[in-house]
Structure 1
């Protein structure tokens, strides 16, 4: 059984990695090999032309910065808000607590596409009263991505907070620690693995977002994000697949860097998510 399990794990790993390998390979392949009727899983003439084309796209650097601003803002805000919400839902008993948790689950079940139109009108109306979060602003992307990240993050962190013994907090209170000290110097470090896990989810979701970027950023092209830059390579007559794959490879690098940065805490974070 162990050999069968290992074989299945290898097959799943290969199937998962192969699309990434093909994307990177296509980014280095000459255009002729990409368009060949007999594609090969290797290339004998690698080229950097597609990467030059991708980096040469007008505004590519600006798109990269915009994506970084949105993704990092969502990660930081989601971490702080979900941490405080998880503590409140776990440590305090109040009316409607169970209903609120159920609503968090329901929010995860609604398709994003079904909410794009209502959110468009909400963001449009909100921008009339709150500067910086209306249409054509990065604030609108941060706000919407934060709203979609919070239910998952709160539900996940709730398990980590519940796994921390209440006796630790009570001992700190007896020693004279304030609630603020308990939150940020005791609870926060203990649930850091959960914050890493939710941070990866929030970062990937915000970084790869295309639907909301095209829905809310209508005319202010300087506020577009990286996924929107891929549209430059889609042409009416023939798509530039080399440029698409090169740009996609460049988009993947920040996600890998972020994942490597939090990988040590991520493994323990995924394990602790089931605790309650």
Structure 2
């Protein structure tokens, strides 16, 4: 073998190694995706199967396909004495979306100026305030159910969507503050100083320079606040007492009782409940990577 042919053989061997590594990595990804999607396939099979029971099998496919379970969930109605019949599922879906959007809006509106102040200014009580906010994240939501119930009862907001939004804001605001504080710290101060040298006020620099730079982090924070409120069950079940005020997680729980379970309708409802979140993820997908990494590196 000549000297000129040795580098070519080494280069060919290197390409084969890289090809094998690429194939192994893709196979691993395929296995991971299949592992994640397999339970979802069972939910889809349950939702669209007309058979009473699904026998265990490797590939879950609907047996006697039907849309009856979806119609049963979507077509639920409410008839109050002396009032026209109303579309109950549509009201409950609207409740979930309105409460979740309001929770995200409240969290962002309070957290954005608070996080900016914590990231840019030094003031008395800053460290103590951060530690207090961190302490609030160490307790589960159910631990605050009784105090929140008593507070809402005293304010006359018990059994209302506004009261539920206030309950959810107690957890969404601290999380949003911590998330956005890290994002604001990654934005160079030089950008604001340059804007102020050109004649902008601190507020104008914040609106025109900082907020556009932090938009991915704000979008992801709002998305997480929306999802946490949209999927929450304990507080919604505790604070809401009327069927027309229920959110969708409470509605799904009603298909599973102590002595029986309507799994096909539960699966159909789960798919319907997931659609708004999937749509929201699709809309905000371009912000996800940038927003999730915002605040991970300072400077």
TM-score above 0.5: yes
2:56 matched residue in structure 1: 38
Say which is worse superposed, 227-236 or 144-153, in terms of deviation: 227-236
1:28 matched residue in structure 2: 48
The answer to whether residue 126 in structure 2 is matched with residue 97 in structure 1 is yes
Q: 1:94 to 1:248 in 2, by over 3 A?
A: same
The answer to whether residue 288 in structure 2 is matched with residue 266 in structure 1 is yes
- Hey, what's the Cα distance between the residues in 2 that align with 1:223 and 1:260? 28
- Hey, what's the Cα distance between the residues in 1 that align with 2:256 and 2:201? 57
Note the C-alpha offset of 1:237.
Answer: 5.1
Q: 1:16 to 1:96 in 2, by over 3 A?
A: farther
1:19 matched residue in structure 2: 39
Q: 1:5 to 1:67 in 2, by over 3 A?
A: same
1:112 matched residue in structure 2: 141
2:170 matched residue in structure 1: 147
Matches within 5 A, 1:186-201: 186-201=209-224
2:84 matched residue in structure 1: none
Note the C-alpha offset of 1:238.
Answer: 3.0
1:50 to 69, 87, 90: 69
- Hey, what's the Cα distance between the residues in 1 that align with 2:249 and 2:214? 32
Is the CA contact (8 Å cut-off) linking 2:103 and 2:169 kept in structure 1? yes
CA deviations 1:154-211 (Å, max 9, x no partner) are 1111111111111111111122212332222211110011112212211111111111
Note the C-alpha offset of 1:78.
Answer: 1.4
- Hey, what's the Cα distance between the residues in 2 that align with 1:207 and 1:267? 22
Say which is worse superposed, 37-46 or 170-179, in terms of deviation: 37-46
In structure 2, runs of 5+ residues without a counterpart are: 1-19, 78-87
1:131 matched residue in structure 2: none
Aligned residues: 267
The answer to whether residue 96 in structure 2 is matched with residue 67 in structure 1 is yes
- Hey, what's the Cα distance between the residues in 2 that align with 1:82 and 1:160? 12
Moved over 6 A (4+): none
In structure 1, runs of 5+ residues without a counterpart are: 128-133
1:221 to 232, 243, 253: 243
TM-score by length of 1: 0.89
TM-score by length of 2: 0.83
1:254 to 276, 287, 290: 276
Say which is worse superposed, 249-258 or 55-64, in terms of deviation: 55-64
Aligned residues: CA RMSD: 2.0
Is the CA contact (8 Å cut-off) linking 1:136 and 1:216 kept in structure 2? yes
